[in-house]
Structure 1
Amino acid sequence: MQREIREECEISLDEERAELRAALGFPERSPVDLVGMLHAAPARTEPDHTLLNAEEGRAYDLIGRPPPPLWEPVLAQGRADLAALRAGETAVWQAVAEDSVRRRLALRAAQLDRAEGDLELLRRLLRYATRSSMTDELRLSGVLVGGYGQAEDLPPLHEVRETDFDTACGLSEIPGPGADPAGLRRWAQETDDLFFGGDPAEEPLYTWTDLALDPGLTSLALVALIRRFDAIELDQSLLRRADDPTRLDTAELSALADDFERLGEPVQARRARRLHTALQDRPQHRTRAVGIGTSAAAG
């Protein structure tokens, strides 16, 4: 294009460009640098200034490299705390013990960065995790401790299980007091495979959006939820049921609408509810819709 402009114009494009750049006070940069800056600029607008389509409410795609996955900024504090806990920093131990959010994030960091020397700090985190009754993090801390297969950890794990009715149900499959270390390790591995794992990309998006809300990373969570709904709206096959790919599971749309309302985004909530309703009106989804409503009423 620049060659065509040079051929058609009598002026010197390079001279005019240099004169304009000097007048505006812009430094001289190569086209490669300028294109790179163009691609980087939109990425810097997220999450605080995400551009939405005024009519549809969808988020515009970013040019260039995508921002880091949500779990990276969410786990930044947890990773820092985990490093300090490993170093034995007393002040950090006290802070993590008194802050349920930091405990959750430190445990998630330990889930993704497992080290042989973590057993003692995981035992301490397990004791703190019982303060919140039955949670994913309590199960995770039990799994991480049990993964070492130490027989001496069975009594404290049973004590944790008997904290209250919810923990007794949620941790009911912990091996009995007389189990051998191999049985404990097997339980931990099977539960780990079912609920956790070591790859953050394989965790459900909602693990990270929920964790983002606790430390106040609301904008990050909101943008991730909007982009997830946009993807579903454009490709409803994302809702296919694993047990019956010919049908859709619309429960995620209802959950998204609830999340948007909780975050003060009524427009996005209406989008999610509108699609949810539209899918229920299709004959093949009516049975599923009744099932969800019945479960919610029973709960």
Structure 2
Amino acid sequence: MKDRKKIFEIRHLKKYYSVSQKQWLKAVDDVSFDIYEGETLGIVGESGCGKTTCGKTCLGMIEKSGGEVLFMGQDVHSMKRREHFEFTKKVQMIFQDPYASLDPHQKVYNIIAEGIRIHKMAKGKKEEEKMVSELLEMVGLNAEHASRNVHEFSGGQRQRIGIARALSVNPEFLFCDEPISALDVSIQAQIINLLMKLQKERKLTMLFIAHDLSVVKHISDRVGVMYLGRMVELTMADQLYINPKHPYTQALLSAIPIADPDECKRKERIMLDGDVPSPINLPLGCRFASRCSKCMEICKSIEPNMIEVEQGHFVACHLYK
């Protein structure tokens, strides 16, 4: 990865929400990672761990509380108006809920053509119509669908429209915020395969947020695991599944269902005891200590830093000091 171009550089990113005069909810707390050109970085974790907030803060959709986010060397949170306009062309988002992210009474054509018009990508009406038709066909829909209203489409079709809208301005980077979680299981694989196909054809870089570890393994080159606002492990996707280091990652992977009943019997399920600490009143030391079977005394008082335990494999755990 060292010789590849960095698209995003995230350093000590923080996003805190004020709950009262003395209390803060630490949604993202001192998170650092890079995203390299042409790769898909997956971020996983339980609901409420801060993964979506982290992604939206990286894109400048949410104001940061601290740290630094660089996109191709530019600070995302201090861009001037013109710079931000160019940034929105290069970086696009696919939303979690296709029912909420698309106006049901809008024509499909207008939804996809909006970005083309804003960024003046077509020389005239005919070229605009051709671009919309090509985008619809690219995502597995028909050119005739352009004249219909969004409310006439199913959830899977709406998400395809959302993908076409994101691709309409020829972005270099896609932020996918749990793009299949609101869809039927039968449709999820189609959307994942479509995203993988488009990423390869258009040489896109992607940040893919999800809570389904099997999906993330399928689509990602590298995977980061978040727990209560912190990144606890980051490595290549295959390496994470073969040799997970953090006890939390091990527990998550042990919960993945296996189709083979014999293999399922052999597989050891790691059960987590204890309650998840409050993100408003975080404990001293490691945030996972109260649920960890390998907890040591140091874990209760000192928070572990991310260290590289193998080439490209980072983990925040005192077991590896």
Answer with 1 or 2: which has the greater Rg: 1
Structure ranking higher in helix proportion: 1
Which structure ranks higher in relative contact order (CA pairs < 8 Å, sequence separation ≥ 6)? 2
Fold shared, TM-score > 0.5 on shorter chain: no
Give me the TM-score of the superposition, normalised by structure 2. 0.29
